[in-house]
Structure formats: C-alpha cells, structure tokens
Chains A and B, each alone.
Chain A
Amino acid sequence: MRDDLAWLDGKAITAGIIDGSFSAREVTGTALERIEQYDTKLNAFTTVTAERALARADAIDAARARGAALAPLAGAPFAVKNLIDIAGLPTLAGSKINRERAAASRDATLVVRLEEAGAILVGALNMGEYAYDFTGENVHYGASRNPHDLARMTGGSSGGSGGAVAGGLATFALGSDTNGSIRVPASFCGVFGLKPTFGRLSRAGSFPFVSSLDHLGPLARSVGDLAAAYDAMQGHDPQDPVCAARPAEPAGAVLDAGIRDLRIAVAGGYFRQGAFPEALQAVEQVARALGATREVHLPEAARARAAAYVITATEGAALHLDRLRSAAGSFDPAVRDRLIAGALMPAAFVVRAHKFRRWFQAQMLDLFEQVDVILAPATPCVAPMIGQQTIMLDGVEQPLRPNIGIFTQPISFIGLPVVAVPVPLPSGLPIGVQVIAAPWREDIALRVARALELSGVARSPRPPEL
C-alpha cells in the first residue's frame, strides 16, 4: 500500500498517472486497502464497490497506455452518501426500511458525470437515517466516527462523507445538504464542503428528504478538488425538475483570480449568539485573513431558521407518511418521533413558512447588492462526543441535535451557495466557517476559499493516526 497516494489531490493523481509515476490501479488499490484497514474504526462506508473501482482503474490505465487523453479527475477515488443511486445496490438513505427496496437500475446523474470525468467510485457512505440528522449517528449501521477523535461525531447527515474524506479513504465524496448536512460534517471533520445554489446540481437518482430544500454537493480536502468535482457535475438535467436550465459555469478556471474586487462582510447579530468562543475565533481568523472589517445583519435570521425547521418537519413527514403507517417501528426512534410530529402540523403554518421564504429571499438579495460575500460560523461548536444529547448555548442547556444546524439552516433556506472552509484550532480539532455568496456565484465563494487555503488559515488537517 502506498499511503502517500491517499493524501494526493485529484490534480496530482491525474498528473502522476499521465507521467507514469504510478498507475490508476495503484491509486485505487491504496484507497481500497485503506478502507479495509481503517473503516473498522471510522465506519464511513456501508458498501465498497471494489470490483467496479478496479475495472474503472484498469480502463484508465489502458487508455493511458494507448496514448488517449485522460479526463481531469482521472484516477481520483470518490464515494457517495448512500442516498445516491449506485446501479446494482439498494439506495439505503441510512435506513433499515430501504434495504427491502429493489436495487437501483442505474447510477445517479452526478455519479455518471463524475465517472465521465475519470473519477473512480469506491463505495457508498454511511449517513443519518433519511438525512434527518446533524450528528452522523445511525441506530442501524452505527455512528460514523470522526477521524480526528474517534469518540466524537462526524456531524451529519453526510457523516460518512466527512469521515471518508478527512480520513484519507477517498479524495472527495458527495453528500446532500437540506439544512446543513454537507457543511456540518465538513466543519466537524475539517474538510472543505460546497453546498451549491439550490437547483444548480442535479438530484436525479437520489433519495429525497425535503424536495424544496434538498441540495447535493461535494466534500474534499482541497479547494481545487472541490471545484473540479463541482465543475464535472454541472449542467442541466431534465431528469430533475428542480435543476436549473443554466449552462455550466466552470469555477476552476477562475479559482486563482484573487479577492481584491470582493466586498466581504461578517454576519453579526444572530450569528454571534449561541456560538462557542472557538466558532467566533475561527470566523475572526478568516475575516482577518481576508481583510474583512464590515459587519452585516441578516434580517430575521432566527425566523428564517424557524421556517426552514417547519418546512423540513412537515415535508419530510409527508414523504414518509406511508412508511410511518406501515413500518413506524423500523425507523430510528429519533427520526420517527420527529416525522410523526411533523405530520401533525397544520397546513396553514407550512404555507406561512413558504411565504416567509419569499420575503427573506428578497431581503437577502438586497443585502447582496451591498456585499459579495458573507462570513458566518458553520457550527456553534467543534465536534461533540458521540451520544451527547445536550449543549450549553448562551448559558442555557438545550437539546444538541437540532441546534447543531442553527447557523446553516437560514442560509440553505433560500438556497444560497456556500463553501464551508475548515479552520484547524490549537486544540487539534477543526471547525468550519461558511463563505456565503449570492445565488449562482459559487465561483466567488470558491475564490475566497482558495485565497484562505493559500493563506494557510483554512486547511484540511491530516489526522495524526491515519
């Protein structure tokens, strides 16, 4: 096993295959061996697609041998949250119930596009049941474990995605983000995570949670890989009615354009309340590195979070109503109780939440006339211990699970693009900061993330024992 290959970025992997430093089979073999060796601890994978991965690797090596041009992500191992379809496997979505579903007949659109770009699928990843989760814990498959401290949460619901990438088991991974499920594990596991604009990337072939809030996106250890994966997945998909009919707008080409022309501000008010000192310290470090001194107020952010919460509870309940009738006892109890409670909410409240969404979006678009980027904490704290039930916020003990997402929910509520950047802390644990841009300006959020990576303030730390 060549451990050094596991920590290369996608660009270096492709370059090494092209110049003959190593083969795609060696890179893939290393990833598969590391999964075998370390996943007993990390519990990031629910299925390993070894045969498929090695066949793809051999095809890339054969293409190189005959002098064919290789695609931009050629040889980069990736894995997907197990709510994303992989042909031949049942799409579990973290549940026991879905084990009985028929195997997916084809790959999800994003898997197809990534393989067309040369990336190699190595498996399906653990997640919180039906994505209704911020912890990465799972009563059926066990908790995903944080590579920086195995006793701590990965965050969720894309817990396996965060753990696999931070632990060097994949170059990048796909997750989903309804209320923060990419940004939370990115924060707790110390990797970069991109939640694109709502409607940017196809969700076709993924198991839904809250259709009006669901996004898919990548997690990676470098901004270059995040942008390369994002660019490979862009483009309209008629299979997803929500996917916007916009041409691809590649971000990789402008990644190093710098930030001198950007107006960057820090979110005040709501985004300073309830945050632990380390979360605020990370935002300050990032703001200082970017020369951002302005503070902006996101109007009614607490109500935005509340409205997202109501829509999530009710729309999620509607999705699962038949399963609640026929198999309520087979759900994770923590998910089941919330879904039943969501099913009981009067429709008038849900309509009001959607009306408020329209209002909040208009306010935020006005704000983006004044600034290009807003910085905010991704999570109120570093990764809590697995099993932890409560958290002290502003001196009051509160339930942990729903409060992990207090800073991510108002942002995804109106579909803004966000890059969560990891900031290593002196404690050895990382924490994330959200770099938030106007709709369809993922390029700006990625440019800022790239500037932070170059400055050394944001980086994905390698866990010492992996």
Chain B
Amino acid sequence: MHTEGTAMDDADLEAIIEAGARLLRIPLRPEWLIGVRLHLATNLRLAQLVTEFDLPDDLDPAYVFGA
C-alpha cells in the first residue's frame, strides 16, 4: 500500500515503526505491526491535510488554549 501524499509505502512505514519503537523503547510484537502501520498511515494522511494548509509564520500555536 502507498500512503497518499506522503510518498511512503508499507516498507517505509514499517522501517519507521521498527526504528521508532527502538528509539522510544516500546517492545513491539510482530503481530502488532499491521495495526500500528494502519494507524500510522492514517495519522500521516491527516497530518498532511493540516500541514499543506498555508499559515502565517507569526501565528502562535494554541498549546495553552483559551476558548
């Protein structure tokens, strides 16, 4: 599968997952890989939707949010 808009295929995603899990010291079982890959692909697709939207440099991120 190719993740739309991220130029990432399944092998790329699995490489990120395996390296990232080592970096974060999360013990990843092989049977979890399909589910994690699916969700990572969704996350990246939705992140792409956000990051392709042009925002001014001086716009403050709303970390501390006042409604």
Chain A interface (Cβ within 8 Å of chain B)? 197-200, 212, 244, 300, 302-303, 305-307, 309-310, 313, 321, 324-325, 328-329, 333-334, 336-338, 340-345, 348-349, 351-359, 361, 402, 414-416, 439-440
Contact = CB atoms under 8 A, between A and B. Distances in A.
B47 interface: yes
Given A198-B67, A357-B61, A337 B36 contact: yes
Nearest to B54: A359
Contacts of A200: 67
Interface string B47-58: 101110101000
11 contacts: A303-B53, A306-B50, A307-B50, A309-B46, A340-B28, A344-B16, A344-B24, A352-B55, A355-B59, A414-B67, A415-B67
Given A353-B50, A357-B61, A358-B59, A341 B43 contact: yes
Contacts of A355: 55, 59-62
Given A328-B26, A356-B50, A414-B67, A313 B43 contact: yes
B26 A343 contact: yes
Contacts of A344: 16-17, 20-21, 24, 36, 40
B50 A352 contact: yes
Q: Is the interface of B mostly helix, strand, loop or mixed?
A: helix
Interface of B: 16-17, 20-21, 24-29, 32, 35-40, 42-44, 46-47, 49-51, 53, 55, 59-63, 65-67
Contacts of A351: 61
B64 to A, nearest CB: 8
A212 B47 CA distance: 18
Contacts of B49: 302-303, 306
A349 B65 contact: no
Contacts of A361: 62
Contacts of B60: 355, 358
A197 B40 CA distance: 30
A64 B46 CA distance: 57
A340 B13 CA distance: 13
B46 A325 contact: no
B53 A343 contact: no
Which 7 pairs across A and B sit closest by C-beta, in order of nearness? A337-B35, A341-B39, A354-B61, A415-B67, A306-B46, A349-B47, A439-B67
B67 A333 contact: no
Contacts of A310: 43, 46-47, 50
A99 to B, nearest CB: 21
A387 B55 CA distance: 41
A212 B25 CA distance: 25
